[in-house]
Structure 1
Amino acid sequence: MECPNTFDDILLVEDNPGDVRLTKEMLKETNLDPTVHVVADGAEALKFLNQKGEYFDAPWPDVIFLDLHLSRMDGEEVLAEMEEEMREIPIIAISGSQQGAALKLDDLEDEVDACLEKPIQPDEFEELARSL
């Protein structure tokens, strides 16, 4: 499967180690070779984007994968706290298939560039990457 390498740096905001592993494996299947920066909660995501603390030299990501269900500061709160310039980065909201996830994704459709349910499928991501 070929996908244009449009993403050199990806910020993955995900608190589940299994989902982090699956997302990285999915990216390999699409032949993308990005650097994946992983933070486990929304507060860390904002520190990364603002280059604060340990993230003082963090790169500006080409895309953000934002889990909506995080233990500390969830995805909706992150979106509310993001500064205007951060909104220029494509944001892909991701959520598990638990009850209500699809409704939550529908509610955020206007605030993000795309919404995906976990587990993310390589074909689905390849199509999305081409559109972004």
Structure 2
Amino acid sequence: MEKRESYLLNRWKAEAIERMTELFNKGTSETEKLKGKSRANVEFGRKIVLTESEESLIICNQVEEGNPADKILLVPTVRKSIKVPKKVATDRGFYSSKNEREIQDLKVKHVAIPKPGKKSEKRVKHERQHWFKRLI
């Protein structure tokens, strides 16, 4: 029974990925890859921003043309939420002190965006807090 469930789950996952690829690749132009993984020499011309709930359900999505910086996508994505989230966590690509301030101004209780590069002692302490580590 476990083998059958595993097979079905993997099959459904593959079908979902295929459908998403078809949906978002329509009319997408290929662009030469300038950086990133060396094994791929082509990138597609759209960026998809997905917002997940704590249960890992996709609750919001947006498709951006080209390859805009993650930093400029974060605050509009949080504002687009139906209700203000209690917690926001992203990877370091979304970091900017302005983003942190703006999201906190929206009354988000915990904002966990790791700062790239060299960090001050105060920042290191901030990122070592239990809630911050748990969100990341």
Q: TM-score range by the shorter chain?
A: 0.3 to 0.5
Greater RCO (CA < 8 Å, at least 6 residues apart): 1
TM (normalized to structure 1)? Answer: 0.35
Structure of greater Rg: 2
